[in-house]
């Protein structure tokens, strides 16, 4: 099967995922799951946490305030959003944007694993502590786990069944939404990404 068909299959399964703890919330609010978007052959994959209000209303990842900051950081480094692939661990919006619960991560994580297998990115950028914890653990780097402040902008090399992958944890762009001074710290993380292409 082609990448597009495999990704479409994931979308179909998530749309029908009645067993998810967030499914009823989606129906009640008449919103969408957010599967991911971008280049199916991307070298860079961004993994965020979970959709916010705007994302759930449109079905598109990082299209709200945090997304504007992400777009801006990409632009500053000459990177095109459409050349990357952007997704989240949790595909439905947790109520009031609260942190995802372990059972919510569990409900969706295999979809992210499949997206990684299909797209085969050379660099996975984990945005924020939840996706960093998941990605480092998934690639058996759990001994490297520290608070995100200590991992931001570090590079972890790993071997997958499709080749070498670099994992770069970066602060979640939302940190700069209410504290513009954090933008500089965020920028440093994106510079690391740019320098490792
Ligand atoms: N925050 C995330 O983690 N993901 C989105 O798609 C939007 C905001």
Closest CA to 88 of 28, 32, 151, 156: 32
Q: 88: CA distance to ligand 1 center in Å?
A: 7
Q: Are 33 and 18 in contact (CB under 8 A)?
A: no
pLDDT tens for 148-165 read 999 999 999 999 999 999
pLDDT on residue 10: 98
pLDDT of 123 strictly over 90: yes
Task: Categorize the per-residue pLDDT at 180 as very low, low, confident or very high, splitting at 50, 70 and 90.
Answer: confident
Which is the closest atom of ligand 1 to the Cα of 49?
3
Task: Specify the residue with its C-alpha closest to ligand 1, atom 7.
Answer: 62
Sequence-separated (6 or more) residues with CB below 8 Å from residue 175: 182, 185, 186
Query: Cβ(66) to ligand 1 under 6 A?
Result: yes
Query: Cβ(88) to ligand 1 under 6 A?
Result: yes
Query: Cβ(63) to ligand 1 under 6 A?
Result: no
Distance separating alpha carbons of residues 40 and 69, to the nearest angstrom = 23
Across the beta sheet with 163-170, the strand order is 37-38, 85-88, 44-48, 123-127, 163-170, 156-160
pLDDT tens for 16-70 read 999 999 999 999 999 999 999 999 999 999 999 999 999 999 999 999 999 999 9
* Residue whose structure tokens are 């944007």: 97
pLDDT of 143 strictly over 90: yes
Query: Cβ(121) to ligand 1 under 6 A?
Result: no
Which is the closest atom of ligand 1 to the Cα of 34?
6
pLDDT tens for 65-112 read 999 999 999 999 999 999 999 999 999 999 999 999 999 999 999 999
pLDDT of 2 strictly over 90: yes
The token duo for 29 is: 């609010």
* Domains, the chain, ordered by start: 3-195 (3.40.470.10)
The answer to whether the pTM exceeds 0.85 is yes
Query: Cβ(51) to ligand 1 under 6 A?
Result: yes
Query: Cβ(49) to ligand 1 under 6 A?
Result: yes
């Amino acid at each position: 099967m082609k990448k597009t068909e495999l990704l479409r299959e994931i979308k179909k399964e998530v749309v029908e995922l009645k067993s998810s703890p967030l499914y009823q919330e989606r129906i009640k609010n008449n919103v969408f799951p957010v599967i991911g978007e971008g280049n199916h052959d991307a070298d860079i994959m961004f993994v965020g946490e979970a959709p916010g209000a705007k994302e759930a209303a449109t079905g598109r990842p990082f299209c709200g305030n945090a997304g504007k900051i992400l777009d801006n950081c990409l632009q500053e480094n000459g990177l095109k959003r459409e050349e990357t692939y952007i997704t989240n661990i949790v595909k439905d919006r947790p109520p009031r944007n609260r942190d995802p619960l372990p059972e919510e991560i569990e409900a969706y994580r295999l979809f992210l694993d499949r997206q990684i297998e299909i797209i085969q990115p050379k660099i996975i950028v984990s945005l924020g502590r939840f996706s960093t914890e998941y990605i480092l653990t998934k690639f058996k780097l759990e001994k490297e786990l520290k608070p995100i402040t200590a991992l931001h902008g570090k590079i972890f090399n790993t071997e997958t069944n499709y080749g070498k992958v670099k994992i770069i944890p970066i602060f979640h762009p939302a940190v700069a939404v209410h504290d513009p001074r954090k933008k500089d710290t965020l920028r440093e993380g994106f510079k690391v990404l740019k320098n490792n292409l």
